[in-house]
């Protein structure tokens, strides 16, 4: 397979910033089609990717499934399961943006459909390749922190106004997987699981702060891992003063980092392409602080470059060579199970064991 012929569904933030640039920049992938019915977005695609076919609705892809090998689902949350199942049913591999599904049961259904079709389905948990997480993983893996006992992770912004879909009738918003818990929660939970392994107990508090919202725009998740680590995960769309992205305490030292990974804002501002010299590098003033305790005075440590291209390189290797996928659907299912328990824990006001 010389080039994996790829169709992207959706050209909003996910398609425009996270998927199309990385598909176009990954050796072995070719962006053959973009699905969007919006005339303005169609014009953007023509300007940025003139060789890509513009398709007005997903059904057109299934009618010409033989023209493609891989479908990337970057459409709104509520469409992810149906589009993934349709792609697999048409004999195509699929990448599915987060949330992989609204719940673990639907996640299993998509995974089982992929197995039955003999095709790959890969959750897009790209934030495993954030520079700050790569840096923290290195500090954990080489023992620099000692035994980690607490991990605080924050993904906070000030939106100013809530997403329109968060103001839909509550039943509709819930059915479509809207709200911050399914928007940011899959990333934060996945990062905690990657770092510290399976979770035994879950507690959560969900909040609605913007007028008119029918789903959460703020959450706090407290996870107790089987390893003994306690992960405290926070996100808010109304954070006037965002807290540190990571604060990690170990028996030997700590690590603290402010600011979000630079890849998203760089691409949103029209920068790139991904993989260019210096890609994913943070300015020195944004680097985190390591040390204290037995490690001596705290000092600045370089943030490793972020690398979302590694996800799509892994997709190519999995399709071409049978390598393990860069993210296993079982990992997404485990995260969705934790998110469901978090919602229940918030409603019942108690900690819940898995």
pTM, full prediction: 0.96
Please give the pLDDT value at position 174: 87
Any domain includes 312: no
Is the CB of residue 308 less than 8 Å from the CB of residue 261? Answer: no
pLDDT tens digits, one per residue of 83-113: 999 999 999 999 999 999 999 999 999 999 9
Any domain includes 148: yes
Q: Are residues 265 and 155 in the same domain?
A: yes
Q: Which of 124, 147, 181 is the last residue of a domain?
A: 124
Any domain includes 318: no
Q: Are residues 235 and 342 in the same domain?
A: yes
Average pLDDT along the chain: 97
Environment class of residue 70 by beta-carbon count within 10 Å: exposed (0-12), middle (13-18) or buried (19+)? Answer: buried
d(CA 331, CA 284): 33
Number of domains the chain is built from? 2
Q: What angle do CA 180, 263, 49 make, to 5 degrees?
A: 100
Q: Are residues 85 and 138 in the same domain?
A: no
Average pLDDT over residues 190-207: 98
Q: Are residues 94 and 64 in the same domain?
A: yes
CATH number at residue 276: 3.30.360.10
Helix 104-117 vs helix 329-348: crossing angle, to nearest 10: 170
- Within the chain, what is the greatest distance between any pair of CA atoms? 63
CATH number at residue 40: 3.40.50.720
Q: Are residues 160 and 79 in the same domain?
A: no
Q: Are residues 131 and 204 in the same domain?
A: yes
Any domain includes 300: yes
Q: Are residues 114 and 228 in the same domain?
A: no
Any domain includes 17: yes
d(CA 310, CA 307): 6
d(CA 174, CA 343): 12
Q: Are residues 155 and 171 in the same domain?
A: yes
Q: Are residues 30 and 79 in the same domain?
A: yes
Is residue 236 within a helix (H) or strand (E), and if so which, with residue range?
Answer: strand 230-236
Q: Which domain holds residue 91?
A: 4-124
Q: Are residues 84 and 227 in the same domain?
A: no
d(CA 171, CA 320): 42
Q: Are residues 79 and 110 in the same domain?
A: yes
Please give the pLDDT value at position 243: 97
Percentage above 90 pLDDT, the chain: 97
**Residue 8 pLDDT greater than 70, yes or no:** yes
Q: Which of 124, 145, 171 is the last residue of a domain?
A: 124
Percentage above 70 pLDDT, the chain: 100
Average pLDDT over residues 207-236: 97
Q: Are residues 242 and 173 in the same domain?
A: yes
**Residue 1 pLDDT greater than 70, yes or no:** no
d(CA 206, CA 169): 18
**Among residues 106, 232, 133, 233, which one has the least CA distance to residue 180?**
233
pLDDT tens digits, one per residue of 303-341: 999 999 999 999 999 999 999 999 999 999 999 999 999
Q: Which of 73, 102, 124 is the last residue of a domain?
A: 124
pLDDT tens digits, one per residue of 257-295: 999 999 999 999 999 999 999 999 999 999 999 999 999
Any domain includes 331: no
Average pLDDT over residues 191-217: 97
């Amino acid at each position: 397979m010389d080039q994996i012929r790829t169709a992207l569904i959706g050209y909003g933030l996910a398609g425009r910033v996270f998927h199309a640039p990385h598909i176009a920049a990954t050796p072995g992938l070719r962006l053959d089609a973009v699905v969007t019915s919006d005339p303005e977005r169609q014009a953007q695609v023509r300007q940025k990717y003139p060789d890509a076919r513009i398709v007005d609705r997903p059904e057109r892809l299934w009618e010409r499934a033989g023209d493609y090998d891989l479908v990337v689902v970057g459409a709104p949350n509520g469409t992810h399961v149906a589009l993934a199942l349709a792609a697999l049913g048409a004999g195509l591999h699929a990448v599915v943006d987060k949330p992989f599904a609204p719940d673990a049961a639907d996640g299993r259904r998509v995974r089982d459909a992929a197995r039955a079709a003999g095709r790959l389905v890969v959750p897009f948990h790209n934030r495993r390749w954030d520079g700050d997480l790569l840096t923290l993983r290195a500090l954990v893996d080489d023992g620099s922190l000692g035994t980690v006992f607490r991990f605080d992770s924050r993904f906070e912004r000030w939106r100013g106004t809530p997403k329109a879909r968060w103001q839909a009738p509550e039943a509709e918003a819930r059915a479509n997987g809207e709200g911050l818990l399914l928007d940011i929660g899959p990333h934060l939970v996945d990062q905690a699981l990657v770092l510290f392994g399976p979770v035994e107990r879950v507690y959560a508090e969900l909040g609605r702060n913007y007028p008119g919202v029918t789903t959460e725009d703020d959450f706090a998740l407290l996870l107790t891992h089987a390893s003994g680590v306690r992960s405290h995960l926070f996100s808010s769309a109304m954070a006037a003063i965002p807290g540190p992205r990571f604060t990690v305490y170990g028996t030997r030292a700590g690590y603290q980092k402010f600011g979000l990974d630079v890849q998203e804002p760089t691409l949103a501002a029209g920068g790139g392409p991904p993989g260019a010299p210096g890609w994913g590098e943070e300015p020195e003033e944004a680097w985190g602080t390591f040390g204290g305790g037995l490690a001596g005075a705290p000092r600045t440590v370089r943030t490793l470059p972020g690398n979302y291209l590694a996800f799509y390189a892994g997709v190519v290797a999995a399709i071409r060579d049978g390598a393990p996928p860069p993210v296993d659907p079982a990992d997404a299912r485990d995260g969705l199970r934790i998110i469901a328990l978090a919602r229940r824990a918030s409603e019942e006001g108690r900690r819940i064991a898995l």
